């Protein structure tokens, strides 16, 4: 099994790279998806988050109001740390379960947004960083996700710097350009991963 850590700043296109790698045959363990699962209604994770942040971070149907929680934690590093202390251990445990369920010869790609921030690079055989210029990322967040520019820049500032992410990279996928440039680059990286696994 080849264990890959995949990361990139918000708006860099990590999700698209993850999708392309899955199409090539990678087993994807997506931390964002798992982070939603572990705080779904009725989970101990959601109960712990409500215990820390209060019932005002819930929607009327009892599910987590992500924008309300985001408004709290992205404005206050200490509150973000408190949230991460609840969610990260749950995500790690579930990720380990999914990895163990993969075939012995699989290329398992752990899609981890905060890999650099949390010092997780040593957990993987190889770290792939999806990179894009800051202005490109802001444009994507505003245009494609409907964020205000200030919110986009605040989200970016809450993550590791580009230099911090690039420092842990074994492979960098530049995604500052159009999608038709990205797919061949991902195919090239996939060939390298298959060679390494063999």
Q: What is the pLDDT of residues 26-52, one digit of tens each?
A: 999 998 899 999 999 999 999 999 999
| Residue 114 confidence (pLDDT) above 90 | no
Can you give the pTM of this predicted structure? 0.84
Question: How far is 71 from 61, CA to CA, in rounded Å?
Answer: 20
In which domain, by residue range, is 98 found?
Answer: 36-105
Q: 6 and 111 in contact (C-beta within 8 Å)? A: yes
Question: How far is 65 from 1, CA to CA, in rounded Å?
Answer: 37
Domain end marker among 86, 105, 124: 105
129 in the same domain as 70: no
63 in the same domain as 83: yes
pLDDT in tens, 137-161: 999 999 999 999 999 998 899 899 9
């Amino acid at each position: 099994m080849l264990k890959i850590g995949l990361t990139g700043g918000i708006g860099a296109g990590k999700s698209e790279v993850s999708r392309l790698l899955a199409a090539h045959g990678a087993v994807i363990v997506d931390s964002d998806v798992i982070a939603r699962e572990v705080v779904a209604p009725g989970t101990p994770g959601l109960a712990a988050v409500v215990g820390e942040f209060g019932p005002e971070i819930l929607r009327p149907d009892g599910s987590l109001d992500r924008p309300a929680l985001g408004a709290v934690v992205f404005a206050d590093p200490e509150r973000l740390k408190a949230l991460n202390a609840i969610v990260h251990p749950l995500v790690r445990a579930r990720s380990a379960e999914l990895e163990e369920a993969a075939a012995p010869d699989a290329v398992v790609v752990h899609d981890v947004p905060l890999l650099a921030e949390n010092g997780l690079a040593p957990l993987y055989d190889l770290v792939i960083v999806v990179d894009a210029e800051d202005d490109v990322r802001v444009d994507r967040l505003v245009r494609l996700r409907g964020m205000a520019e200030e919110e986009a820049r605040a989200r970016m500032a809450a993550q590791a710097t580009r230099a911090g992410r690039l420092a842990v990279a074994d492979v960098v996928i530049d995604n500052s350009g159009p999608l038709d440039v990205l797919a061949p680059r991902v195919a090239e990286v996939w060939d390298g991963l298959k060679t390494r696994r063999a």
